[in-house]
Structure 1
Amino acid sequence: MVERRLGRGLDFFLSGSTEQASVGESVALLDVQALLPNPHQPRREFSAQELEDLAASIRASGVLQPILVRLVGGRHQIIAGERRWRAAKAAGLERIPALVREISDDQAAVFGLVENLHREDLNAIEKARAFKKIQELCSGNQEEVARQVG
């Protein structure tokens, strides 16, 4: 069993190992070209300038927070962190740190939508689509939507 502590430090990711984080989770360095984007990503527009700024930061300091992925049909699908993934590719990285989690299709959709809803730069249309999708996934239950979104 892995010792749980706040933060893993860069050495953890630089070692190149896959390690169990908790039940149903592992951490790995994944090939950026092999990852699949999240089909439930509410963000339809990615600012080229913001991605380039993030890519410059990644070139200087690396990826500071792992992306969240799950296995789908033998490939890793991004649940959260698509901007980091796109910027890592633009920065020329071959691998990106990722937390691999076993979760259902509905959970993956909700996680990705909620993560983006808490960002300030989604436009009104993207937010409306995200809320609508979460409501569909929660069978129209407004209390469940509120619980999921926070």
Structure 2
Amino acid sequence: SQGGGGKGIRKVENEEEIKKAYTQVQMELPNSPIFLMKVCSNVRHIEIQVVGDMYGNVCSLSGRDCTTQRRFQKIFEEGPPSVVPPNIFREMEKASIRLTKMIKYRGAGTIEYLYDQEKQTYFFLELNPRL
């Protein structure tokens, strides 16, 4: 969890690989919690920019597809994301605005989602503050 930039991320296919990867990550990031997660295929990494103020006003500044990566680092971003149907993208923006209001967020932020193209569903990943 303390890696950042993809450090510590490993894809494993069997139990033996889990043991090896676990040991490697422990050495790279001592004292950091280690999480196991299911690999999701045919998904996109979608980000939505939001801004909230001290009066509870929130707006979305659109979004982007950040899926194209090399070594867990973004290569380029496409905005607006063409892989998400417009009606679903609007739902994602509305969900982002609701979240931003609910936590009384102030400032600029990026809300990240995992978008499943086959099922046309999305899942919240995280909210990152922006300077």
Q: Normalized against structure 1, the TM-score is what?
A: 0.27
Query: Which has the higher Rg, Structure 1 or Structure 2?
Result: 2
Greater share of residues in helix: 1
Q: Normalized against structure 2, the TM-score is what?
A: 0.30
